[in-house]
Amino acid sequence: MKFWQSVSFTEPEQLVEIAKLCEETGFEGILVSDHLFHPEKIASKYPYTEDGLPGFHAETPWPEPFAAVAAMAAVTSRVRFATMVYILPLRHPIPVAKACATLDVLTHSRFILGTGAGWMKEEFDQLGVDFHQRGALYDESIAALRALWKPGMVEHRGRFFDIPRIQMSPAPRAPVPIYVGGNSKAALRRTAQLADGWLGTGTSPEEASRDLAELARLRAQFGRARERFEAIVPLTTPPDPDVLRRLEDQGAHGTVSYPFLYALGPTSTLAQKRAYLEGFAENVIRKSS
């Protein structure tokens, strides 16, 4: 089982030092989240709370994820990075492909594009993207990205994007891995059919087990059971070695340490974060190896 540290809601000025600490303490990777802005009024319902209200506010920091990854990758050599999750249908695939290809080259292929459909209609409205078409946009964006990352002249002809023959340089050494986040029926279908990996949403072990079984069924249905695949499964329960071993047997490859906001409070010093990461490494990572 591999362990990832989420840096959602973290003070941006601490990210570079946190990346060094994660590498020193044995974490597999770092997860970076994504939102463009916080509307003054949000009518959209947050899908991961019972009351539909998000657990963040207008002052919560959301650094641009590709820039954040680049800064952290520059001071590390082993730890991997993934967006969890980048709202893919909100953006045109050409600039996304460009940024990800550059990150792949600069990080020596340590970057994963973790993607999601998005839930905040206000973001889509502001960028002039049809919120209700985001599922179809999402699927086509994945196809367009994979075309754009190929060497030489490429093209993509689709319903939403008509890209004539172009060449993007630098090209990634290999297609950047695309993971899909979420445990809705649509997310699991998209993961099984189109993705290189899965990012769970933070569930109980029982729910994670159910989702892993459904993913295995769907991947077999789509003829992809033997393809390389990685499942990162955040849990809402404290890490338990027996639970993690059981989930690993069921197809999980990694799990996630809570964002510092939940572990240490709204703000914390680097010294406090170091103590937390060292404690997690000693009490969880080493005991699970």
Q: Which token pair is 190?
A: 């998209």
Q: For residue 278, is pLDDT > 80?
A: yes
Burial (CB count <10 Å: 0-12, 13-18, 19+), residue 206: exposed
pLDDT digits (tens, 9 = 90+) for 134-145: 999 999 999 999
Each residue of 229-252: b (16+ CB within 10 Å) or e? Answer: bbbbbbbeeebeeebbeebbebbb
In the chain, domain spans? 2-181+235-288
Q: Fold for domain 2-181+235-288?
A: TIM Barrel (3.20.20)
| pLDDT value at residue 288 | 83
* Euclidean distance between CA atoms 62 and 140, whole angstroms: 26
3-state helix, strand, coil in the chain (%, to 5): 45, 15, 40
Rounded to two decimals, what is the model's pTM?
Answer: 0.97
pLDDT digits (tens, 9 = 90+) for 195-215: 999 999 999 999 999 999 999
Q: For residue 128, is pLDDT > 90?
A: yes
* Euclidean distance between CA atoms 48 and 55, whole angstroms: 9
Which letter does DSSP use for residue 45 in this model? P
- Say whether 60 sits in a helix, a strand or coil: coil
pLDDT digits (tens, 9 = 90+) for 143-153: 999 999 999 99
Q: For residue 187, is pLDDT > 90?
A: yes
pLDDT, average across residues 78-96: 98
* Euclidean distance between CA atoms 5 and 131, whole angstroms: 30
* Euclidean distance between CA atoms 26 and 287, whole angstroms: 12
Q: Where are the beta strands (DSSP E) in the chain?
A: 2-6, 29-32, 80-83, 86-87, 111-116, 154-157, 162-166, 178-181, 197-199, 230-232, 254-257
| pLDDT value at residue 289 | 73
Handedness of CA 235, 241, 246, 248 (dihedral sign): positive
* Euclidean distance between CA atoms 214 and 192, whole angstroms: 9
